Chain A
Amino acid sequence: MNRMWAIAWKELIQVRRDRLTMAMMVGIPVLQLLLFGYAINTDVRDIATVVYDQDHSAESRGFVRRMQATGFYDLVGPVESYAEIGVALRSRKAMVALVVPPRFGADVEAGRTAHLQLVVDGSDPQVVASATDTAMSLAAARSSTLTVERLERLGLPTSIPSQLIAMQPTTWYNPDLRTAVFIVPGLVGVILTMTMVMFTAMAIARERERGTLEQLIVSPIRRIELTSGKILPYIAVGYLQMTLILIVGSLVFDVPIVGSIQLLYGLSAFFIAANLALGLFFSTLAKTQQQAMQMSFFFLLPNILLSGFMFPWDAMPAPARWLSLVLPLTHYLRVIRGVTLKGSSLFELRYELIWLVGLLTALMVIASLRFRKKLD
């Protein structure tokens, strides 16, 4: 135990003296948070829209007004032909075009089906979905209103509801569907994965490069003492980063923490330690600090893609889901999103806890076994 603390104490002094590492520890989380927080914004608003109105009736102007009122569409101007629509989409002046055919108003008046066309730039699927959904519901709403008006004019009873089946979507846990609320807790996991793995991956490679590793393995220190001693101080560093992200996330992006902070910090220790143990494992494979660094970066990519940070985990094909189970981040994302957004309890997160503890134990054993107290 004594010997483990000697290692931990030494690591802490080294981290404190290394200004670049210190700057990275504080700088990386804040910078990444701001970058991701602002850049990954899937909230679709103010889509630039042009209108090709061939009708110029009260009905067509009314529909355009209602479109604008949703806040989804930002009217950037009228156009006078399909060719102009093409130019507008290609030059990215607009992403959506509404085409109102001639006699649109007249058809509506006469009770015939009136057609509207929505042209959408398919190069961004996210925009397509939002733009069409909104326009469809606008059209449906307007149809119901017109139907009711027509029935009234025909003198039929108006006691029948305009919609026989009404679906009322209610969103819990992030009612405004803000991306930041979803992204920021996930970012805690991604940033911790990146920095934690890197710190310990470099820690042993650095000793090897500077020749101090030989002095360590000639001492009677046990492998588990060395690996634990190397991990302990960085758990504190991980907590520091996590706290920083949560504070900035709350101040800048207004991300709430609904659940128990103690539970979140308690479960995070296993995740942080698992990543640190993984870094140590990389460290036993790498000959130089540079190699250790490269391995850390390669490891980051599958984490971002498979963990559910960017793409919905449940939508992934089964093999990808199985693979993602060995990534600590997959389980941690459920923990942190669960606690911060939904107020999940420890019992509700028991499987994630079991996974994290299992991965941590496996990685510690592998790292300790891989680290041989020999030179060759």
Chain B
Amino acid sequence: MQDPVIVEGLSRCFGDLVAVHDLSFEVHRGEIFGMLGPNGAGKSTTLRMLCGILDPSGGRATVVGFDVGTEPERVKQRIGYMTQRFSLYDDLTVEENLRFYAGIYGLSRRERRARVGDALERSGLAARRNQLSGTLSGGWKQRLALVCATIHEPPLLFLDEPTAGVDPVNRREFWAHIHRIATGGTTVIVTTHYMDEAERCHRLALMSRGTLLDIGSPEEVIERRRIRIALVLSPDVAAAVEVLRQHPAVDEVAPFGDQIRLATLGGIDPVVLAHDLLDGGPGVRDAREIAPNVEDAFVAIVHGEARQEEHG
């Protein structure tokens, strides 16, 4: 079966600004696909093009079997889309918002009643069904926005920074819910700039300044960078940082409280390196290796690019 999303050389310019440049990737059925990058990386622009509400400047994308450039309306019936602004009508109640979105997706009266009742129960919003959406807390708004975006049970769901401004507890619950949706066979594409959220995706696209930096499972993305991380305790943190920074194999030295987070490239053991460099000078009180995360990988890529630019 064809992948629900196939992107080939997709680009988008706003005047002189290249927001998305020559993007290519596929998303497989039933996976949670994360797009990670800072603000301005082109994540939201990409999502909007895939939803058919923004015309690409170049390249093409096939979503649920239809070209978004030529048949955007056929794409729209089969996707759900939730923005970071939680596009709800503040002056409508929880239930009215649900009924409205069920209505504009053309659900019949019967389907509408069944799905709205079901969604209210499952989301825990049943007790608040008559509350105006504008008076809901951020977490409840997010939950309502999600059920509104999925009321027509789309096989593909786009979430644009869905956890922006939501507290950590709600964020965890939200992700648990996303995983339940994906288990049911729905494909989910989610943008985020939270690194911990990125690690909960099946596969990731790392983006920066409109280009794709890397793509793969979180483990693959980290593995490919061949970085190793150590936490180093030194009596003289400031001096130790200065010494470590000089070494070419060191990717990053960052003080974390009274510890130093040391990242090395090319598979070099950071604990051995710390002892080699510091024992004669500022000294090492303790050094132990920890597993690198997606954030380390992301930083390593960005640093790598900066180095390449410096050396032409």
Q: How far is the CA of A13 from the CA of B14 in the complex (A)?
A: 37
> In this complex, what residue of B is CB-closest to A18?
B91
User: Of B53, B89, B103, which is within 8 A of A217 by CB?
Assistant: B53
Q: Is A373 touching B48 in the complex (CB atoms < 8 A)?
A: no
Q: Using C-beta atoms within 8 Å of the partner chain, give the interface range for chain A.
A: 20 to 34
Interface string of A195-236 (1 = CB under 8 A from B): 000000000000000111011111111100000000000000
Quick check: is A17 within 8 A (CB to CB) of the other chain?
yes
Cβ–Cβ contact B106 & A214, under 8 A: no
Residue A314 lies at the interface, judged by CB distance under 8 Å to chain B: no
Is A168 engaged at the interface, CB distance under 8 Å to the other chain? no
Given contacts A216-B104, A374-B54, 7 further A-B contacts (CB under 8 A): A10-B89, A10-B92, A10-B103, A211-B83, A218-B52, A222-B73, A375-B53
Q: Is A5 an interface residue (CB 8 A)?
A: yes
Task: Enumerate chain A residues within 8 angstroms of B33, measured Cβ to Cβ.
Answer: none
CB distance from B77 to the nearest CB of A (A): 4
Contact A7 B51 (CB under 8 A): no
In the assembled complex, the Cα of A86 lies from the Cα of B256 at a distance in Å of 94
* Binary per-residue interface labels of chain B (64-104) against chain A in the complex, 1 for a CB within 8 Å, 0 otherwise: 00000000110011010101010111111000100111111
Q: A218 touches which one: B81, B92, B100, B106 (CB < 8 A)?
A: B81
B103 touches A212 (CB 8 A): no
Q: In the assembly, what is the distance between CA of A214 and CA of B108, in Å?
A: 23
**Can you list, as one digit per residue, whether each of B17-60 has a CB less than 8 Å from chain A (1) or not (0)?**
00000000000000000000000000000001001111100000
Contact yes or no, A9 B103, CB < 8 A? yes
- Give the CA-CA distance A17 to B90 in the complex, in Å: 11
Residues of B within 8 A of A211 (CB): 83, 85, 87
Q: What 6 A-B pairs come out closest when comparing CB atoms?
A: A6-B103, A215-B87, A211-B85, A220-B77, A220-B76, A218-B81
Inter-chain contact A219/B105, CB cutoff 8 Å? yes
Q: Is the C-beta of A56 less than 8 angstroms from some C-beta in chain B? A: no
Cross-chain contact of A5 among B55, B92, B101, B103 (Cβ < 8 A): B103
State how many angstroms separate the Cβ of B156 from the closest Cβ of chain A.
Answer: 12
In the complex, which range does the number of interface residues on chain B fall in? 20 to 34
Contact B54 A9 (CB under 8 A): no
Residue of B nearest to A5 (CB): B103
Q: How far is the CA of A343 from the CA of B48 in the complex (A)?
A: 57
A147 an interface residue at 8 Å Cβ cutoff?
no
In A1-16, which residues have CB < 8 Å from any B CB? 2-3, 5-7, 9-10, 13-14
Question: B102 to nearest A CB, angstroms?
Answer: 8
**A6/B100 contact (C-beta < 8 A), A13-B92, A214-B87, A215-B81 known:** yes
Q: Is the CB of A214 within 8 A of B100?
A: no
Q: Is A376 an interface position by the 8 A CB rule?
A: yes
Q: Roughly how many angstroms separate A9 CA and B93 CA in the complex, as a whole number?
A: 13
Cβ–Cβ contact B103 & A218, under 8 A = no
A6 touches B104 (CB 8 A): yes
Q: How far is the CA of A5 from the CA of B77 in the complex (A)?
A: 18
Q: With a CB–CB cut-off of 8 A, which chain A residues contact B76?
A: 218-220
Give the residues in chain A near B77, CB-CB below 8 Å: 220
* A13–B53 CA distance with the chains assembled, in angstroms: 27
Contact yes or no, A13 B96, CB < 8 A: yes
Contact status A212-B89, CB under 8 Å: yes
Residue on B nearest A211 in the bound complex, by CB? B85
One of A10, A212, A218 near B51 (C-beta < 8 A) = A218
Across-interface contacts of A18 in B (CB, < 8 A): 91
